[in-house]
Amino acid sequence: MGLIKRYESEIYGNYKKGWLLYGLYTGLIMSFSVLLRYFLTYPMDTPSTWIDNIVLFLCMFIFTYLYRKKLYMGNIFFKEVYILNLGIGVVAGVIYGLFIWYYGSSVDTELVQRYVENQEYIYINNWEGTDEDMKARIDEIKSMASVPYLSIMGGILTMVTSLMVAFIVGLLLRTQKNVVRQKR
């Protein structure tokens, strides 16, 4: 039937090296942005914010552009851009999660308290169920909330966000279209 198209494309560069190098840089830049916000009196109250997502997008865009410039004639397919950015997102998510663990344990010890207060505020203002259910849900959040929980959540949210960001960057920075493989 032809519902699924098979594409013929080559991988031009060493994207696995890009995963490690650019993923490390992206994780460190995201970590630096968290520290900068803390020192500018805007500490985080959730493990991942819109600012972190914007920093992730900008890093992926810039590092993909730098990666593309290193390739012969700048040829790059969507598939290679997407694979590159998925790897960057995974490595950055691990680095970011480890940093959130350090940040919540040493730098900003009130992170868990602010997270619980933020979630409680959200539930109180948006809850449509009974009061007993809301209190049970808030108690559940209070019992789960810890620095390791928030760091794992921050790393996973970064990785999931990188799925969508990688797609957008892939559409913006590809230079060649894939050729559809002919049936034999």
CA distance linking residue 100 with residue 83, whole number of Å: 25
DSSP letter at 103 equals I
Span 98-133, pLDDT tens digits:
999 999 999 988 888 888 888 888 877 777 777 787
Q: How far from 180 is each of 4, 6, 7, 30, 134, CA to CA, in Å?
A: 10, 6, 5, 38, 53
Tell me the average pLDDT across 63-76: 84
148 pLDDT band (50/70/90 cuts)?
very high
Q: Residue 165 has what pLDDT?
A: 93
Percent of the chain with pLDDT strictly greater than 70: 87
Specify burial of residue 127 (Cβ count, 10 A radius: 0-12, 13-18, 19+).
Answer: middle
| Closest to 99 measured CA to CA, from 152, 39, 63, 50 | 152
Q: Is the pLDDT of residue 12 over 90?
A: no
Range with the lowest mean pLDDT among 17-31, 34-48, 72-86, 87-101? 72-86
